[in-house]
Amino acid sequence: MNSQEITYLGAFIAGLMSFLSPCVLPLIPSYITYITGLSFSDLQSEHPPARIRRKTLTHSACFVAGFSLIFILLGATATLVGTLLQQYTELLRKAGGVMIFMFGLHIAGLLPIRLLMGEKRISLHSKPAGLFGSFLVGIVFAAGWTPCIGPVLGSILTLAATEQDLEQGVSLLLFYSAGMGLPFLLSSLALHRFLVLFHRFRKHIRLAEIMAGIMLMVSGVMIYFNWLARLSGYALNLLGEYR
């Protein structure tokens, strides 16, 4: 596994961390009922009819596509800006490492950043009809800057800014979106099971935040000192000797 594959895996895990955050996880049932227009009792059924499953899946997929589009566009923009500042690659990498480390401190609760404390959310009072309406809700969701998603998403965008290839920057946010989108789709198809798991996991949310913060801090240090690329080089050398 090379450094790029490790980075993609990290982006996917970051998306999963965003899904499990206190700003997103408790609201999943509300989002699902909002975009589908179905009642909570219909979705909570252990064996819902095929019609409800089909409607839930299609609307949830459109919702995921909406927020994925925004995240991917942000990633492309970050990479383009980073490319324009290519002569400052070393400085950008070190500054990005510091930012990611600070985000980790914030998520772990060790150094609250006031700028990230206030929740900024755009809301729709009435959902537009149809699948396109669910797509728009996904766009609005992505545009909302919540204290939980902000630091993790900001870390991935910082990484995207250090990429020299636009495709790699887009891929980073694609993996991040998949980390958020896949569990959302699974939850929409089995909301009854999701609620059971959520009640078990809820008491561990704070621990998950601390672990996420530690992961970001470690990532920030590795990026600052360029250890990720060096570790990848060592791994490739060892693999070559083994062969």
Pick from 90-99, 159-168, 169-178, 194-203 the range whose average pLDDT is largest. Answer: 169-178
CA distance 178 to 191: 19
Please give the C-alpha separations between residue 11 and each of 85, 115, 141, 198, 224, in angstroms, as whole numbers: 23, 23, 19, 23, 17
Q: Is 68 exposed, middle or buried (0-12, 13-18, 19+ CB in 10 A)?
A: buried
Dihedral of alpha carbons 76, 11, 161, 235, sign = negative
Confidence of residue 45 (pLDDT cuts 50, 70, 90): confident
Domain residue limits, the chain: 3-242
110-137 pLDDT, tens digit each? 877 665 555 555 555 566 668 998 998 8
63-81 pLDDT, tens digit each? 999 999 999 998 999 888 8
Confidence of residue 24 (pLDDT cuts 50, 70, 90): confident
Lowest mean pLDDT among 103-107, 116-120, 207-211, 225-229: 116-120
- For residues 146-165, give the mean pLDDT: 76
**Strand-pair partners of 145:** 120
CB atoms within 10 A of CB 43: 23
Lowest mean pLDDT among 21-35, 50-64, 81-95: 81-95
Nearest to 52 by CA among 192, 183, 180, 182: 192
